[in-house]
Amino acid sequence: MKKITTLSIILLCGLSKAQYCTPTFQYGAGSNMISNVSFGSINNPSSTNSSTAQEYEDFTSLSTDLAAGNTYPISIKGPSSTFPSDVMVYIDFNGNGSFDDAGENFFIGRLEAANPANAFTIDSNIMIPANVSGGSKRMRVLKNTNVAAYSDPNAQNSISSACNSGLRAGQTEDYTVNIQGSNTNNFPFPYCGSEGVTSLTVSEITKVEFAGLENESSIGGSSAVIEDFTGSVFNVSRGNGYPITVTGGTHGQTTVSAYAYIDFNHNNQFDADEKFNLGYLDNSNPVSGHESGVTSETITIPANALLGNTRFRLVKAYESSSWMGTLENLPCPAGWFIGQAEDYTINIQPESLATTEVSKDKSIEVKIYPNPTSGNVTIRMKEGLEKYEVYNISGQKLSEGNSDTVNMSRLIPGTYLIKIQTKDKKITTQKVIKK
């Protein structure tokens, strides 16, 4: 018997506490139960006694190990008394307690009518996305009779979600799958990379200005299709808007777009409501010797965005619909891709610096030099420095630390506030000008 590690116990406990829904059936399980599930190392026969069959069976103690990026066969068996039955499988890949996120449902097929002794089996395959994080995930097998399919073999699927409250007759079984992430240390994991690109021309992003930071990168066509700048952190606050300017190659084309994608719900993918259209780059040629353009827009952070660090992806792509096919700007570059993506980290905070904090405590003697500065500034004070925080003039925090040297070299020129806390917990805020 396989030993269960402490980590596995913790993960399984987390699964058991998740508030998963339970579908309901008008006529119960009856003679329409699931009688066997075979998937990976799971091979689970269950009762076909019509008088005792339950609508829901919890088999989460049964698990199988799966590798991200691989495809696995699955077989489902079960009777279907009068009408054919649809079978769906759901896997909560992002662990958020819901089965209804994009990419988490699989239509296995339709079982023909049969009594329990002569029940049919349907076979299919389930592909585990390459960007799924490792750990234990809940898997649901859901079976429901489809009245329309009795006379119409092409009738639509009778199961619209894992939480249907109007199912006719069938059964739900829940299991556990353990995802083994084989590439957890490789950028851009756990997010999608360039694996979907079939034809590539790299056309670089050359400069990004956002949330008080500026990042310049090389131009020349030899850069990676997705560049790793996740060490650069954009500090923002919920509910606030931030101007962003993107510079990059256009090669004389007028349909080179820029989009920002931000994983606000931390589910390791970029959903449809997590994208920002930054417009088309003009041909202002801001990069000497290259046909380049600029576009500017504003990104507003939703009030319900999850707090903390998450992935920020910027994609610049040539869009076209012609003999070359359809070229479009996607969060996961695919097909014939002409452009580049850059990944950053965005740190979402709950609120801005309060106006009552933007004041000086005149009892604290602080010297900050050089001021103005083009790089680092040094903080000197007799009370001793506990920590500092750097804010832009709008009150959004950009960085923090406890060193007496503050690196401001990557900030765009302007006026900034350095909030200083002394060892004896006094606070003062000083202005610094970045040249």
Q: What percent of the chain has pLDDT over 90?
A: 49
Across the range 215-224, mean pLDDT stands at: 87
In a domain, 202, yes or no: yes
Same domain, 268 and 373: no
Of the pLDDT bands very low, low, confident and very high (cuts 50, 70, 90), residue 196 is confident
Same domain, 311 and 343: yes
The residue type at 262: I
Q: Which domain holds residue 153?
A: 24-180
What's the structural domain count of the chain? Answer: 3
Same domain, 114 and 164: yes
Same domain, 337 and 201: yes
Q: Is the pLDDT of residue 32 over 90?
A: yes
Across the range 351-373, mean pLDDT stands at: 67
Nearest to 312 by CA among 181, 435, 211: 211
The 3-state DSSP composition of the chain as helix, strand, coil percent (nearest 5) reads 5, 50, 45
Same domain, 58 and 134: yes
Q: Is the pLDDT of residue 354 over 60?
A: no
Same domain, 167 and 211: no
In a domain, 16, yes or no: no
Across the range 345-369, mean pLDDT stands at: 68
In the three-class reduction of DSSP (H, G, I as helix; E, B as strand; rest coil), residue 241 is classed as: strand
In a domain, 163, yes or no: yes
In a domain, 87, yes or no: yes
The per-residue pLDDT for range 52-103, each reduced to its tens digit, is 899 999 999 999 998 887 888 999 999 998 999 999 999 999 888 889 888 8
The per-residue pLDDT for range 304-353, each reduced to its tens digit, is 898 888 999 999 999 988 766 788 999 999 888 999 999 999 999 886 55
| Residue bearing tokens 């650069």 | 232
Which one of 120, 151, 180 terminates a domain?
A: 180
Q: Is the pLDDT of residue 17 over 80?
A: no
Q: Is the pLDDT of residue 360 over 80?
A: no
Which one of 282, 317, 349 terminates a domain?
A: 349
CATH of the domain at 220: 2.60.40.10
Same domain, 295 and 372: no
Which residues 6+ apart lie within 8 Å of 403 measured at CB?
A: none
CB contact at 8 A, 21 and 160: no
CATH of the domain at 393: 2.60.40.1930
Of the pLDDT bands very low, low, confident and very high (cuts 50, 70, 90), residue 109 is very high
Which residues 6+ apart lie within 8 Å of 10 measured at CB?
A: none
Same domain, 342 and 416: no
**What's the distance, Cα to Cα, between the start and end of the chain in Å?**
66
In a domain, 361, yes or no: no
Same domain, 157 and 215: no
Same domain, 146 and 231: no
Same domain, 165 and 52: yes
CB atoms within 10 A of CB 255: 14
Whole-angstrom distance, CA of residue 208 vs CA of residue 416: 19
Whole-angstrom distance, CA of residue 165 vs CA of residue 148: 18
In a domain, 355, yes or no: no
Contacts 24+ apart (CB under 8 A), 60-64: 60/12, 60/15, 60/16, 60/138, 60/174, 60/175, 60/176, 61/176, 62/175, 62/176, 63/136, 63/175, 63/176, 63/177, 63/178, 64/39, 64/40, 64/175, 64/177, 64/178
pLDDT of 185: 52
Which one of 305, 320, 349 terminates a domain?
A: 349
Nearest to 229 by CA among 58, 145, 399, 346: 346
More confident position, 186 or 118 = 118
Whole-angstrom distance, CA of residue 336 vs CA of residue 379: 52
In a domain, 1, yes or no: no
Whole-angstrom distance, CA of residue 166 vs CA of residue 29: 14
The per-residue pLDDT for range 241-297, each reduced to its tens digit, is 899 999 999 988 899 999 999 999 988 899 999 999 999 999 888 888 888 999 999
In a domain, 81, yes or no: yes
Q: Which of 55-64, 139-148, 401-410, 423-432 has the lowest mean pLDDT?
A: 423-432
Q: Is the pLDDT of residue 182 over 80?
A: no
